[in-house]
Amino acid sequence: MPIVPGDPGESSPWAGRRVPPGQRVQAEAPIMHYGPVPKPARRPWTFTVGGATRSGRERVLGLDEVLALPALERVADMHCATHWTVLDQHWSGVSAAAMVALAPAAEGVTSALVFAEFGYAANVPLEELASGEAILATHLDGVPLSLERGAPLRLVIPQLYTWKGPKWLRGWNYLRPGDPDLGFWEDHGYHRHGGVWREERYDYQG
């Protein structure tokens, strides 16, 4: 079962704690990403669900079609693997689980490579994408995302470290066993799953 955001789980040594192990709370999230901020409308914006889809075909959506999915809002804490945490951010947008339902994965798929502008990508377990907690976010704290924060769309999965939440999201590919499955940070030694309560920061932790 995916871990409920903010809840380490009853059997966890961190049960009842608000801040995951190894994190320090700060008031604001610094703008943090690798590479440049994309220019708006550089090219027609599309959202693509590809790879091992159930239909065997790629599904390409425009922003209006993405925003027509069921709305979702969550107050969540943001945890960067470099040890900072920001509490109580209010994200809103649409449900990533609804996107999974609209463009489902083939039988046996367990993860997706979620991708953004400029080739940034993150490996995300399908279970987390489909958990009902993952948001395709358009707004932070009631305000449309700025370009620096990932406009027009950003993935938010509160129970995973923030590198699993690409800004400038453009889609995902469902992975078959044996497909190249490392995103940007996983390829640089970070963890496959990235759960904050089990402190899954680095690959060498297994």
What phi and psi, each to the nearest 5 degrees, are found at residue 164? -80, 0
Q: How far is the CB of 203 from Mo ion (least distance, A)?
A: 16
Task: Tell me if 152 contacts ligand MTE by CB under 6 A.
Answer: no
Please give the span between the terminal C-alpha atoms of the chain, in angstroms, as a whole number.
Answer: 19
Q: In 17-76, which ranges are continuous DSSP H helix? A: 63-67
Task: Tell me if 87 contacts ligand MTE by CB under 6 A.
Answer: no
Q: Which segments of the chain are extended strands (E)?
A: 24-25, 47-51, 59-61, 71-79, 84-95, 111-116, 121-125, 135-140, 143-144, 154-156, 169-174
Task: Tell me if 163 contacts ligand MTE by CB under 6 A.
Answer: yes
Cβ neighbours around 187 below 10 Å, total: 13
Task: Tell me if 168 contacts ligand MTE by CB under 6 A.
Answer: yes
Q: Which does 206 bind (CB under 5 to 8 A by kind): ligand MTE, Mo ion, none?
A: none
Q: How far is the CB of 23 from ligand MTE (least distance, A)?
A: 12
Q: How far is the CB of 139 from ligand MTE (least distance, A)?
A: 13
Task: Tell me if 170 contacts ligand MTE by CB under 6 A.
Answer: no
Task: Tell me if 80 contacts Mo ion by CB under 5 A.
Answer: yes
Cβ neighbours around 99 below 10 Å, total: 24
Strand partners, 47: 61
Determine the interface stretch with ligand MTE among 31-39, 62-70, 98-106, 170-178 (rule: CB under 6 A): 31-39
Tell me which residues touch ligand MTE (CB under 6 A).
29-34, 80, 116, 120, 149, 162-163, 165-168
Tell me which residues touch Mo ion (CB under 5 A).
80, 162-163
